[in-house]
Amino acid sequence: MYVKFFRCFGCDETYLPQDIESLPIMRCERCGSALDAEYDYDSIKKEIISDNFRRDTPTHWKYWPFLPVSDLSALVTMGEGATPLLEHSAITRSIGAADMYFKYEAQNPTGSFKDRGSSLEITKALELGKKKVVVASTGNMGSSIAAYAAFSNMECVVFVADVAADVKIAQMRAHGADVRMVDGDYRIAMKEAEDYVRDNKDSFLTGDYPWRCEGTKTVGFEILDQLYCKVPDYVIAPIGNGTLLWSLYEAFRDIVGVGMTEHIPRIIGVQAEGCDCVVQAWKDGAHSIEPIDNPKTVATAIACGDPIDGLAALRAMRESDGLGVSVSDDEILAARNGLARHGILVEPSGAVSYAGACKIKDVLVRQTVVCIATGHGLKDMQGL
Ligand SMILES: *Cc1c(COP(=O)(O)O)cnc(C)c1O
């Protein structure tokens, strides 16, 4: 694998991969912040600079040199990724964009982009010889990990925040997960999951930790691949824990790193008004994020009041010269219903990026824009 080391977002401390692989919770041991992987781009270049790489269809594991894996015969895959980039002319016109694409992540095996991270996390869990995985979830993370664990004959325990939609809980149960409903928000679910892993040394913690960030990058690689390496002007994504936003930034940075493109798109992070702590920090020019207790929004998948990758998301927005936008629940549901009218069905959180786009149309005029449509509409039909 081509990861050289991991660097802490909070205090810049660096770690060798083998030193953090065995930590019960993959965060900085000094300050508790999230960690960012840095790669050896020269070695990756040797793997990918080939006509085959350019010709191969975009799929998640096509980009393995950019992921922290060594044994390609042991990958766990359920066909995640390879999702379509959809464009509807009426939507493009109504925004005034040159092109307005939707990366339709609903098409993943369990109905959200979480499957990209799960395929890598479950691969790592097996590599480390674990038989049980543990995760905290607002719904989609749990249903994704439950499916991949069942597919790999692993046990799975999910701590579910009280906002989770019923269908997502039914999905976890159908896959045989041990579902533990938490009396409280995602922050409490996360604490319980982390406590469980500390007490049960044979278990493996999954969720918004470094492996997932790496696995989620493939959504960015696919976008560039599908646009024949023409870098879009803007990429818009929702922020829950901030992992998706940071993964997008990392993916574009990696592609610049190996010399296939020259710059990265501007990255716009969108949050629901009831849970917009990262956007507030962006507006205030702050370097820390003020957590929100018991956040309330129809976009339950992004109800994370104390985002693990919040600082990373903030950095993605700042370093890409992007923007932070908040949208109301009414704006989110209107965006979801509008997309449905054009044949694209997403859950409320899946429409948050488009709701953000509608709000800042002026900025997007004649630009090439990609919105990440993160989760399937059948998972949460509130307000339809
Ligand atoms: C997880 C999720 C998000 C938020 O992603 P983060 O990586 O937590 O920021 C957005 N939409 C859907 C449908 C999700 O499942």
Closest CA to 383 of 339, 324, 342, 325: 339
At position 140, the amino acid (one-letter code) is: N
Q: pLDDT by residue (tens digit) across 345-367?
A: 999 999 999 999 999 999 999 99
pLDDT at 52: 81
Alpha carbons 322 and 318: distance in angstroms, whole number: 6
Fold of 114-211: Rossmann fold (3.40.50)
Task: Please give the number of the atom of ligand 1 that sits closest to the Cα of 237.
Answer: 10
DSSP bridge partners of 315: none
Every domain of the chain and the residues it spans: 3-68, 85-112+213-379, 114-211
Q: How far is the CA of 130 from the centre of ligand 1 (A)?
A: 26
Candidate from 103, 108, 110, 113 with most ligand 1 atoms within 8 A of CB, to mutate: 113
Contact 271, 289 (CB under 8 A): no
pLDDT at residue 20, as a whole number? 85
Identical fold for domains 85-112+213-379 and 114-211, yes or no, is: yes
pLDDT tens digits for range 167-178: 999 999 999 999
User: Ligand 1: does its nearest atom lie under 6 Å from the Cβ of 112?
Assistant: yes
Output the six-digit token pair for 33. Answer: 């912040």
Could you tell me which residues come within 8 angstroms of residue 124 by beta carbon, excluding any fewer than 6 positions away?
Answer: 21, 68, 69, 204, 211
Query: Residue 293, Cβ neighbours under 10 Å: how many?
Result: 10
For residue 360, give both structure tokens. Answer: 């800042």
Name the stretches of the chain with pLDDT < 70: none
E strands in 155-252:
155-160, 178-181, 203-205, 234-238
Q: What is the pLDDT of residue 101?
A: 98
- Cα distance between residue 71 and residue 76, in whole Å: 11
Handedness of CA 313, 315, 321, 327 (dihedral sign): positive
Residue whose CA is at the smallest distance from ligand 1 atom 13: 375
Q: CA separation (Å) from 170 to 13, 45, 93, 378? A: 41, 43, 39, 13
pLDDT digits (tens, 9 = 90+) for 208-218: 999 999 999 99
Q: CATH class for domain 85-112+213-379?
A: alpha beta
